[in-house]
Amino acid sequence: MKFATTTLVFVVSALLALGLVMLYSATMFHGGSGFWISQLIWCGIGLVMCLSIAMADYRLLKNISVPALVLALLLLGAVMIPGVGLERNGARRWLQLPGTTFQPSEFAKLAVIIALAHYGDRKGRQMDTIRYGLLIPGTVLSLFLGLIFLEPDWGATALLAAVCGLMLILAGTKLWHMAPPVLVFGAVGGYLLSQNPVRLNRVTSWLDPEGTKQGVGYQAWQSLIALGSGGTTGLGLGNGRQKLGFVPEHQTDFIFSVIGEELGLVATVAIVIGFILFVVCGTFIAMRARDFFGYLLASGLTLLVGIQAFINIGVVTGTLPNKGLPLPFISRGGTNLIAMLFCVGVLLSVARFAGREERSKSVATGDSGGYSPFGAET
């Protein structure tokens, strides 16, 4: 366990340090010092919170799971109110706070994961029934997914749906119970995509990046140019050219392309390895958790960070269609950085309270069909 937590802390520290350096480089011609200082402040706040959570008992989160879920619902609803929610680029995803902005969907992701872990822990083997394993959690989850989708934030909707779907399977929901809603979700998503010209154009540009490089595919094409021009070792820190207004959102969603251009393939591969190590360490911590709640909670938070990183890197490299998701620990953005460091703090707390004895040498499949190292209690 000590090796896993040490590796986790090292990886996160390295990603944070790289993020601060690259954020300054990416914005050095666009008010870099202001962006950098703001991110540094958020990083400091997040690290203090991370340390505090790591020293606390993660099981205390059970007591706030329902209030946090209700608060998240209210905040998501507030975003939709004209004059309350802050609209940018046609999306209403933020609330204006004194001196900064706040993105409720980031808080909602954490609240839903905590609540779902608590719910799965309480229901135990009842999760293999349609009522407790699918209908009740699915109804609540649909409400949150719907509100995030209406912002609109398709990327966050898909991310939360994927994380919670996998958590339900880990909690004991049968795979064949999950099949119908997944098919319905996919069909509805496909229909809505066909009716939304902006999102449909993103898919078109993904399928034909060169043919759309002067239009809707401009951002993705410039990102590929940045990655290609960096070569193996990069052009040198601060020497990138695509950040000079060629790659939109280069300091947030597309900062990975700036890293590739300035530090090269070596740095981008190191980042990918770093996130793989994060997922491995998070999985190890989840498997060694002292209880089922800790197992589900650690699994959900690890999936959140891992899948978000996978989507961001996939978009920047042209592997996936364009989505508005930041790169964890690296992209500019205080709310997401706080959320990611919260995940780290909880993982460290789960690891700290894990029993010394190995509660399981291998993953056991319970009667409910869930993949867990614990026998879920009724």
Three-state SS at 371: strand
Instruction: Give the pLDDT of the chain (378 residues) as one tens digit per residue.
Output: 889 999 999 999 999 999 999 998 887 776 556 778 889 999 999 999 999 999 999 999 999 999 999 999 999 999 988 888 888 877 888 898 887 888 999 999 999 999 999 999 999 889 999 999 999 999 999 999 999 999 888 899 999 999 999 999 999 999 999 998 889 888 988 888 888 887 788 888 888 888 888 888 888 888 999 999 999 999 999 888 888 877 877 888 899 999 999 999 999 999 999 999 999 999 999 999 999 999 999 999 999 999 999 999 999 999 998 887 999 999 988 899 999 999 999 999 999 998 544 444 333 433 333 444 444 443
Is residue 247 within 8 Å of 218, Cβ to Cβ? no
Residue 24: C-alpha distances to residues 15, 31, 341 (Å): 14, 9, 20
Whether the upstream peptide bond of residue 152 has omega within 30° of 0, thus cis, is yes
Cα–Cα dist 169/173, whole Å: 5
Query: What is the token pair recorded at 29?
Result: 């011609």
Query: By the 8 A CB rule, do 211 and 221 touch?
Result: no
- Kindly write down the DSSP assignment for every residue of 68-96, as one continuous string: HHHHHHHHHHHHTSBTTEEEETTEEEEEE
Give the integer Cα–Cα distance in Å for 219 and 335. Answer: 24
Nearest to 161, CA basis, from 131, 137, 193? 137
Which residues contact residue 156 at a Cβ distance below 8 angstroms, ignoring those fewer than 6 apart?
105, 109, 148, 324, 325
Q: What is residue 62's three-state secondary structure?
A: helix
Supply the pTM of this predicted model. 0.91
Residue whose C-alpha is closest to residue 251's, from 10, 34, 93, 12: 34
Query: How far apart, in whole angstroms, are the C-alpha atoms of residue 180 and residue 132?
Result: 16
- The CA distance from 60 to 45, in Å, is 21
In angstroms and rounded to an integer, the radius of gyration of the C-alpha atoms of the chain is 21
One-letter identity of residue 46: G
pLDDT given at position 113: 98
Decide: helix, strand or coil at residue 102: strand
Asked if 358 and 18 touch (Cβ cutoff 8 Å), the reply is no
**Helices and strands (DSSP H and E) totals, the chain:** 13, 5
